[in-house]
């Protein structure tokens, strides 16, 4: 899990090394090799000599014992001169051995061509080249960074507080580079340490909340702020952050709650007061809009109900294509099915009378006409005049111009008796509709 | 003989005594407070009072309850309150505040009641107020506790805390502290102005707000060596009516009923009062309605205030309220208020109505007229007002 965490060069690394030296451990050869590779090219002499020197000393110890065994047959009592002589011998042998290791040119170093890439990959120099969206799995696992990361976050070598502190710093760095997901991961790791420093944990929560904010995870951010304030009750920063997140979520009640908490800590805080006012206004607006909508809906419902009642009471019978047992009619039953009549459903006009869309059928030619607005009190003949009168052009299908006002017979169909009933055109629509044999289908008298 | 019994009682009330003894003694003390003689007896003995005070946190719940009840009765009498406040060994105010702050203390409601009793007489109120201000939890802290529903986990509702806080509003210093613009006290109280669950809390909060509207500042303007004008300025009204507090719609909401206005009229009202639902109920208690109307009247004193109210078109709400209102006193206040709002500024002619000097005989006439109105319901206000205006000109 540490692999994706890049670390910036710091002097501490040297101390970590020295720690290892003190403990006289050489955990594994790989690590040793890493240090060699890592530092020989930087400041060859300084690091190389340091490492080599310590190696020297321990190796020298080994050799000493070895030589003592081999050459001197386990002799233990020495004079000073003999000791000095032996030392000198051993030194010479060591020198020649090292010389024999070859003064080959260091091959693993960076060349002219690839030094930029190498540098980019190297944890000591790498800026954060990782793209924002890349997940941890995709990050190239640089063994150098892995090693360094292990050093830093190894619980064996550090106290929980130190590890948590390191994670926190790491996360802050990520944050500065806008790598918010990595920052969150770091802060989470820091919190996993469950160290006993409440302040530090509170800061970790607060920082994680900030990172979540930038990622747009306002809900998670608020949760973190809550934890932060739990740990540190006067944490005004966390409270203010929670207010901002709640504002972004338009969750006004939460804004009030957090503002109240903040104003308890700092009653003079103008920002919190302003935020609270904004929240108050927004909430009032919301409530008022909800009330208005409710009122409009109610109004609409009552109007519809009135219309239906008026139709029922007027004696007009509504038929329907589907047999329904219920006596209640809804407005959808009155929606006209005919495409030309769409949108002109029966309604009240200004004088309070019903206005219907009326369909005229011409069975001879299988044609229909729609009169979109036919007030009940109008006489049928008036509308026929308009359509078939002297001024009006004959209908396109009326080739013989047979359809003239005086010639017309108007009927309606009695659905039950499947009979045609004659209609006196001098009557009003109202009178026709109230004929007990007449049913209005599809909201459109036909 | 009696003294011996009383002394014995003191001993039995000792906090480190036997549980059953303490309980019985406490109950006796509580019962004594039920009678006037017993009460005065207990009040005279500071040691009994101290002993009772020590028992309020007794582990036995009935003992502590009895102790609190005894204290309630004692503090209800002015002499008792004096005695309690005079106790040297223990500061009763601080003790009670601790009880209120403790979320686990079961008798917190009693503590609120005791404090309310102690602060009711005006001369004692100042003392209590000083002690609270000196203590760790000031007025602000108490208001914060009040504003959290379910603060106390043992079932105490703390409604009487509102009464205690409203007692402070009888002091100028209290009002000023509540209306401190840098602080955040009054605004917390406002949300309880329509608190349905408790009439007591609602009444106390509205009374507090009502008192705050009367707050003025006296300033000395020295124009010359000879003439100095004492001017009083209603400094808080612009703030109260401004958006920080926005008091006017809140005062009107309990007086408003279901929406009967058209869209245009609705849009002219403040947001709080627009499109009210059909089941909106007006404030049922006439006393509270009276307080609301009086507060509105006070805000009308200055010209600026009147103009704000006219802009918010609250006349509509008042008109509907007048149709609904049955209580004579409230109707009278409503009419006065509408009177002020309907007239133009030229007609009124005065910037600050509180500076108008009403001659005593006119004042008497007004009072008589009010009484007549209340009794019989006839309203001849207009003619009287005209007469007054003529006189003052």
pLDDT tens per residue, range A334-381:
666 556 555 667 777 777 777 777 777 777 777 777 777 778 777 877
Judgement on whether residues A298 and A342 belong to the same structural domain of the protein? no
Rounded to two decimals, the ipTM of the complex is 0.71
| Residue A440, phi then psi, degrees to nearest 5 | -90, 120
User: DSSP string covering A111-161, please?
Assistant: -TTTHHHHHHHSTTT----S-TT--GGGS---HHHHHHHHHHH-TTTS-HH
Q: How far apart are CA B129 and CA B119, in angstroms?
A: 8
Closest residue on chain B to A262 (Cα): B184
User: Could you give phi then psi for residue B110, rounded to 5 degrees?
Assistant: -60, -40
Whether residue A117 is contained in a domain is answered as no
Q: What pLDDT score was predicted for residue A423?
A: 75
Question: How is residue A310 annotated by DSSP?
Answer: H
What pLDDT is stored for residue B57 in this prediction? 85
- For residue A43, the model assigns a pLDDT of 44
Chain A: residue whose CA lies nearest to B184: A267
pLDDT at A211: 92
Cβ atoms of B178 and B169 closer than 8 Å? yes
Residue-level pLDDT at A137? 43
Same domain, A282 and A216: yes
Domain boundary among A305, A340, A368: A305
- How many other C-beta atoms are found inside a 10 Å radius of the C-beta of residue B311? 10
**Residue B219 vs residues A113, B224, B229, B356: alpha-carbon distances, Å:** 85, 15, 8, 17
Interchain proximity B275–A288, CB inside 8 Å: yes
Residue B354 is classified by DSSP as G
Chain B residues within an 8 Å CB radius of A268? 182-183
A294 interface with B at CB cutoff 8 Å:
yes
Residue A267, domain member (yes or no): yes
Task: Decide: B354 and B230 in contact? Cβ < 8 Å.
Answer: no
Residues A417 and A289 in one domain: no
Query: Given pLDDT bands bounded at 50, 70 and 90, which one contains residue A40?
Result: very low
Asked if the model's pLDDT at residue A144 lies above 70, the reply is no
Q: Is residue A143 part of a domain?
A: no
Q: Bridge-partner residues for A412, per DSSP?
A: A421
Question: What structural domains and CATH numbers belong to chain B?
Answer: 1-76 (1.25.10), 91-214 (1.25.10.10), 217-393 (no CATH)
State whether A329 and A296 are in the same domain. no
Chain B touched by A281 (CB under 8 Å):
yes
Looking at the fold, whether A175 and A292 belong to one and the same domain comes out as yes
**Contact A307/B at CB under 8 A:** no
Confidence of residue A157 (pLDDT cuts 50, 70, 90): low
Cβ neighbours for A39, distance < 8 A, ≥ 6 positions apart? A46, A47, A48, A51
Residues of chain B with pLDDT under 50: 225, 228, 378-381
Residue A139: inside a domain: no
The answer on A192 and A59 residing in a single domain is no
CA-only gyration radius of chain A, Å: 47
**Digit-coded pLDDT (tens) for A313-336:** 777 676 654 333 334 455 666 666
| Residue B391: Cβ within 10 Å count | 11
SS3 B77: coil
Other beta carbons less than 10 A from residue B3's beta carbon: 9
Closest CA to A430 of A335, A311, A308, A319: A311
Residue B183 to residue A267, Cβ atoms within 8 A: yes
> For residue B235, what pLDDT is reported?
77
Together in a domain, A415 and A361: yes
Closest by Cα among A46, A17, A282, A314 to A152: A17
What per-residue confidence (pLDDT) applies to A373? 77
Give the closest of B184, B271, B272 to A263, CB-based: B184
| Residue A174 · residue A208 · CB < 8 Å | no
Strands, E assignment, B41-167: none
Q: Which segment of A36-40, A166-170, A311-315 scores lowest on mean pLDDT?
A: A36-40
Q: Are residues A290 and A349 in the same domain?
A: no
Chain B residues in contact with A302 by the CB 8 A cut-off are: none
How many CB atoms are closer than 10 A to CB B79? 12
d(CA B224, CA B36): 59
Choosing from A305, A340, A362, the residue where a domain stops is A305
Average pLDDT rounded to a whole number, residues A28-42: 36
pLDDT score, position A102: 67
If asked whether residues A159 and A299 sit together in one domain, one would say yes
- Given this model, what pLDDT does residue B389 score? 54
Which pLDDT score is estimated for A243? Answer: 93
Identify the residue among B275, B276, B280, B312 best suited for mutation to test binding to A, counting A beta carbons within 10 A and taking the highest: B275
Please provide residue A370's backbone torsions phi and psi, each rounded to the nearest 5 degrees.
Answer: -120, 130
Picking from B140, B185, B277, the nearest residue to A291 by CB comes out as: B277
CATH number, domain with residue A286 = 1.25.40.10
Chain B partners of A267 at a C-beta cutoff of 8 Å? 140, 182-185
Residue B113 neighbours by CB under 8 Å, 6+ apart: B72, B75, B160, B163
Q: How many helices (H) and strands (E) does chain A have?
A: 15, 7
- Nearest-CB residue to A294 (from B188, B272, B277): B277
In a domain, A401, yes or no: yes
Are A72 and A176 in a shared domain? no
Question: Which of the four pLDDT bands, split at 50, 70 and 90, describes residue A140?
Answer: low
Assigned domain for A135 exists? no
Query: Is residue A140 in a domain?
Result: no
Instruction: Check: CB of residue A369 under 8 Å from CB of residue A392.
Output: no
Domain span including residue A301: 153-305
Distance between alpha carbon A400 and the CA centroid of its chain, in Å? 71
- Does some domain include residue A109? no
CA atoms within 13 A on the CB side of A445: 28
Residues A287 and A346 in one domain: no
Strands B228-233 and A354-362: unpaired
Q: Indicate the number of domains in chain A.
A: 3
Interface residues from chain B to A (CB-CB < 8 Å): 140, 144, 147, 182-185, 187-188, 243-244, 259, 266, 271-272, 274-278
Q: What percent of chain A has pLDDT over 90?
A: 11
Most confident range, picked from A32-46, A143-157, A349-363: A349-363
Asked if A69 reaches chain B (Cβ–Cβ under 8 Å), the answer is no
Q: Is A301 on the interface with B (CB under 8 A)?
A: no
The answer on A243 and A189 residing in a single domain is yes
- Residue scoring higher pLDDT (A131 or B193): B193
Tell whether the model's pLDDT for residue A21 goes beyond 50: no
Secondary-structure breakdown of chain B: helix, strand, coil percentages, each rounded to the nearest 5:
65, 5, 30
pLDDT of residue A123: 63
Domain closes at, from A248, A270, A305: A305
Q: CB-CB: which of B140, B243, B275 is closest to A295?
A: B275
Task: Output the pLDDT for position A76.
Answer: 60
Q: Which of A89-98, A270-279, B15-24 has the lowest mean pLDDT?
A: B15-24
> pLDDT category, A34, cuts 50, 70, 90?
very low
- For the question of whether the overall pTM of this predicted structure is more than 0.80, the answer is no
């Amino acid at each position: 899990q540490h692999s994706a965490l890049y670390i910036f060069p710091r002097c501490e690394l040297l101390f970590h090394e020295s720690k290892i030296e003190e403990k006289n451990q050489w955990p594994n050869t790989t690590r040793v090799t890493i240090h060699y590779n890592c530092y020989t090219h930087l400041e060859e002499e300084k690091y190389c000599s340091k490492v080599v020197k310590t190696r020297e000393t321990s190796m020298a110890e080994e050799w000493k014992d070895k030589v003592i065994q081999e050459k001197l047959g386990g002799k233990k009592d020495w004079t000073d001169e003999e000791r000095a002589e032996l030392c000198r011998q051993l030194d010479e042998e060591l020198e020649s051995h090292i010389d024999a290791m070859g003064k080959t040119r260091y091959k693993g170093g960076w060349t002219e061509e690839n030094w930029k890439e190498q540098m980019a990959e190297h944890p000591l120099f790498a800026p954060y080249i990782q793209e924002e969206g890349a997940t941890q799995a995709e990050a190239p696992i640089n063994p150098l960074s892995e090693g360094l990361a292990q050093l830093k976050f190894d619980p064996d070598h550090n106290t929980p507080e130190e590890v948590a502190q390191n994670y926190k710093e790491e996360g802050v760095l990520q944050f500065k580079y806008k790598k918010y997901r990595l920052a969150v991961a770091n802060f989470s790791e820091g919190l996993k340490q469950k160290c006993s420093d409440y302040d530090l944990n509170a800061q970790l929560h607060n920082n994680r909340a900030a990172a979540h904010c930038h990622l747009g995870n306002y809900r998670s951010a608020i949760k973190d702020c809550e934890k932060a304030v739990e740990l540190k009750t006067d944490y005004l920063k966390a409270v203010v952050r929670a207010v901002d997140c709640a504002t972004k979520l338009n969750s006004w009640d939460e804004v009030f709650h957090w503002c109240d908490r903040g104003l308890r800590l700092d009653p003079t805080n103008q920002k919190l007061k302003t935020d609270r006012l904004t929240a108050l206004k927004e909430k009032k607006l919301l409530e008022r809009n909800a009330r208005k909508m409710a009122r409009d809906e109610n109004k609409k419902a009552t109007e519809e109900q009135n219309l239906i009642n008026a139709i029922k009471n007027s004696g007009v019978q509504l038929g329907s294509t589907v047999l329904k047992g219920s006596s209640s009619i809804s407005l959808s039953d009155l929606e006209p099915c005919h495409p030309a009549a769409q949108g002109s459903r029966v309604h009240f006009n200004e004088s309070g009378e019903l206005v219907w869309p009326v369909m005229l059928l011409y069975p001879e030619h299988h044609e229909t006409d729609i009169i979109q607005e036919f007030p009940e009190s109008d006489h049928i003949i008036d509308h026929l005049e308009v359509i078939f009168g002297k001024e009006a052009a004959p209908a396109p299908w009326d080739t013989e111009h047979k359809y003239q006002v005086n010639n017309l017979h108007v009927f309606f169909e009695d659905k039950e008796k499947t009979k045609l009933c004659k209609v006196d055109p001098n009557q009003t629509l109202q009178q026709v509709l109230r004929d007990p044999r007449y049913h209005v289908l599809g909201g459109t008298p036909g | 003989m009696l003294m011996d019994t009383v002394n014995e009682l003191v001993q039995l009330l000792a906090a480190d005594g036997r549980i059953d003894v303490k309980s019985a003694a406490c109950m006796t003390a509580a019962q004594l407070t039920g009678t006037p003689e017993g009460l005065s007896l207990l009040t005279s003995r500071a040691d009994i009072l101290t002993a009772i005070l020590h028992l309020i946190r007794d582990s036995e719940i009935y003992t502590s309850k009895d102790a609190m009840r005894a204290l309630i009765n004692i503090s209800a009498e002015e002499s008792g309150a004096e005695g309690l406040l005079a106790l040297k060994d223990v500061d009763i105010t601080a003790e009670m505040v601790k009880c209120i702050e403790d979320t686990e203390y079961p008798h917190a409601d009693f503590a609120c009641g005791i404090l309310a009793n102690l602060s009711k007489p005006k001369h004692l109120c100042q003392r209590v107020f000083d002690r609270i201000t000196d203590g760790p939890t000031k007025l602000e802290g108490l208001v914060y506790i009040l504003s959290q529903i379910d603060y106390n986990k043992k079932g105490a509702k703390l409604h009487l805390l509102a009464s205690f806080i409203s007692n402070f509003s009888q002091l100028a210093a209290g009002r000023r502290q509540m209306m401190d613009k840098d602080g955040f006290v009054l605004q917390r109280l406002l949300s309880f102005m329509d608190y349905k669950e408790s009439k007591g809390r609602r009444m106390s909060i509205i009374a507090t707000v009502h008192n705050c509207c009367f707050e003025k500042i006296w300033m000395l303007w020295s124009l010359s060596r000879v003439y100095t004008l004492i001017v009083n300025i209603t400094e808080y009204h612009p703030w109260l009516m401004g958006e920080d507090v926005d008091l006017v719609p809140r005062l009107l909401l309990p007086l408003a009923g279901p929406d009967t206005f058209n869209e245009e009229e609705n849009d002219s009202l403040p947001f709080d009062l627009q499109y009210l639902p059909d089941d909106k109920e007006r404030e049922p208690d006439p006393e509270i309605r009276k307080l609301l109307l009086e507060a509105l009247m006070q805000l009308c004193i200055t010209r600026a205030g009147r103009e704000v109210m006219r802009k918010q078109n609250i006349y509509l709400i008042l008109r509907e309220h007048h149709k609904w209102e049955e209580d004579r006193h409230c109707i009278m206040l409503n009419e006065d208020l509408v009177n002020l709002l309907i007239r133009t500024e030229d007609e009124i002619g005065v910037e600050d109505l509180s500076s108008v000097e009403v001659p005593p005989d006119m004042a008497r006439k007004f009072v008589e007229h009010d009484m007549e109105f209340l009794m019989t319901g006839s309203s001849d206000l207009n003619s009287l007002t005209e007469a007054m205006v003529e006189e003052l000109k």
